[in-house]
Amino acid sequence: MPRHTHTDKTTIAMSQDSYYLGFDLSTQQLKCLAIDQDLKIVHSETVEFEKDLPKYRTKKGVYIRGDTIECPVAMWLEALDLVLSKYCRAEFPLEKVVAVSGSCQQHGSVYWSSQAEALLSQLNKESEKDLVHYVGPAAFAKQTAPNWQDHSTAKQCQEFEQCVGGPENLAQLTGSRAHFRFTGPQILKIAQLEPETYEKTNTISLVSSFLTSVLVGHLVELEEADACGMNLYDIRERKFNDELLHLIGNSSKQKLMGAPMKAMIAGRICKYFTQKYGFNANCKVSPMTGDNLATICSLPLRKDDVLVSLGTSTTVLLVTDKYHPSPNYHLFIHPTLPNHYMGMICYCNGSLAREKIRDQLNKERANGAENNNDWTLFNQAVLDDSKDDDNELGVYFPLGEIVPSVKAVDKRVIFNAKTGKIEEVVEKFADITHDAKNIVESQALSCRVRISPLLSDSNTKSHQNLDQDTIVKFDYDESPLREYLNKRPERTFFVGGASKNDAVVKKFAQVIGATKGNFRLDTPNSCALGGCYKAMWSFLYDSNKITIPFDKFLNDNFPWHVMENISDVDNESWDRYNTKIVPLSELEKTLS
């Protein structure tokens, strides 16, 4: 049980039979989760596209044609009918659902025809047939939606960056540099290579606003937070950038329905769902959002809290009130907290890089014999502080890395702990166990220095005798060392497969240095659950049943018993890693 205290806990006054649904329309499946008024998961149903809808002949939910990767939109409509039919077969009381919201795969886009609004309006009149009958092929100018895995827009990404003076300027404007998957370059590609399709397109939705539109029975504007994943939205000005819109075409703003939606309720669920599945006519629909944005809503994250997902890759999400964009990470408007942002940093080399060192260590210690992927020796090395290795540092990138943006490389150095200067590049350390410790430390330290510009000043200062005026550079940020010595997150939450490894998590916690605790939990339903919580808070706030912001609401009512408190705050350990900030900066400068 975490040592977490609540003050002024909010009491939710409502019927004991109220439920909230959260959809998760991902690449390979549509999941629908239901929670009750106590935020307890009470039911779940899933449609797996490849298994349950084989007629679309997708491979893991998509069509792959070289670098072009797309999804059939009609499959999503059938999946929505199918998942709700499963709820009915389970005799779940959908009439007691008071609000729905959810998560959708980010960066996908849907191209509606001029007939779409009229066809969607039929959903407010009848329900004798399935969704694909009412919202059939005629509703779409393009029958498929680009998927986030698409890599076919290199030319368009270059044009986007050139349009505003380079990747750094684009990141300053839109929160990210140009990326293959982002919707702006995808729309530009269709305008250039499929001009007839683009001409027939009356309205463009993100996957999130597509699903919201179907549920309310009319076209709705883009959800603002998800619109930040387009390379089109000027985040500071909170409007689409005219230069970038003009690059696509004069009608692009009209096709995007003008300005994104900022309201917390998109409307009531349409008659199709009340008649066919028994939803209450007063059930409210809170706009769907993107999957990463929904994930940050699935945990009680407040300003200066960090979520570290330790998977094959490592993803860091955090809540911040600082708009400090960089071409090497992403900033989105927060989906529920006014004047706040979600920072997102993605690393390519996570678990696989650690596994490579683990396998080398096991092989060497077992004289060449296999050791069944056992982590015992690796974990012992990670937590062994008896070694004389405080002047060692390494980067381990078996795959080309995103942050920093470099090719595959392994590099080990010895540095001067007082000056931070690198004294020697070495082929290997004294013992391979040093690599086990150094890979985890360097991964965690990279996270720490890159979240630092997004955090508020901390009360904890470094007590080491370091030259705090020394300039360090990470990616596009160049600042005095002192800027990295007084910034610490309040809380860190660890999720993902490798979060089950106590040694890895403890080392990450020591290096990142949260001041108010480190927590761990298993989150198999985070996207759908974030949708549930968003639906619940939006409904209660819109109904004047509560007046508190989302983060306080979730902190007050979150089922903290599912959360494991994994580590106390360790000021001494955090302080010790300050000596590695300058040499990490120096080491990264030598990479290409």
Reported as a single tens digit per residue, the pLDDT across 478-493 is: 999 999 998 999 999 9
- Averaged pLDDT, 372-385: 92
Residues 73, 119: Cα–Cα separation, whole Å: 15
Q: Is residue 135 within 8 Å of 77, Cβ to Cβ?
A: yes
Instruction: Of 440, 555, 568, give the one whose Cα is nearest residue 515.
Output: 568
What is the reported pLDDT for 358? 95
- Averaged pLDDT, 107-113: 97
What is the reported pLDDT for 369? 59
Residues 557, 10: Cα–Cα separation, whole Å: 7
**3-class SS shares of the chain: helix, strand, coil, % to 5:** 40, 20, 40
Instruction: Of 261, 339, 329, 344, give the one whose Cα is nearest residue 296.
Output: 344
Confidence of residue 9 (pLDDT cuts 50, 70, 90): very low
Q: What is the chain's mean pLDDT, rounded?
A: 93
Confidence of residue 13 (pLDDT cuts 50, 70, 90): very low
What is the reported pLDDT for 8? 40
Residue 279 predicted with pLDDT over 60: yes
- Averaged pLDDT, 257-269: 96
What is the reported pLDDT for 4? 40
Residue 443 predicted with pLDDT over 80: yes
Q: Which tens digit of pLDDT belongs to each residue from 532-576? A: 999 999 999 999 999 999 999 999 999 999 999 987 777 888 888
Which neighbouring-strand residues pair with 491?
305
Integer-rounded Cα radius of gyration of the chain: 25
What is the reported pLDDT for 439? 98
Q: Which tens digit of pLDDT belongs to each residue from 174-231? A: 999 999 999 999 999 999 999 999 999 999 999 999 999 999 999 999 999 999 999 9
Residue 1 predicted with pLDDT over 70: no
What is the percent of the chain with per-residue pLDDT over 70, rounded to a whole number?
96
What is the reported pLDDT for 50? 97
Q: Is residue 284 within 8 Å of 265, Cβ to Cβ?
A: yes
What is the reported pLDDT for 463? 67
What is the percent of the chain with per-residue pLDDT over 90, rounded to a whole number?
88
What is the reported pLDDT for 94? 98
Q: Is residue 183 within 8 Å of 205, Cβ to Cβ?
A: no
Which neighbouring-strand residues pair with 233?
240
Instruction: Of 476, 499, 479, 512, give the one whose Cα is nearest residue 566.
Output: 499
What is the reported pLDDT for 574? 87
What is the reported pLDDT for 7? 36
Residues 457, 112: Cα–Cα separation, whole Å: 47
Residues 23, 42: Cα–Cα separation, whole Å: 14
Tokens at residue 214, please?
Answer: 């179907």
Confidence of residue 263 (pLDDT cuts 50, 70, 90): very high
Residue 276 predicted with pLDDT over 50: yes
- Using DSSP, state whether 423 is helix, strand or coil: strand
What is the reported pLDDT for 126? 84
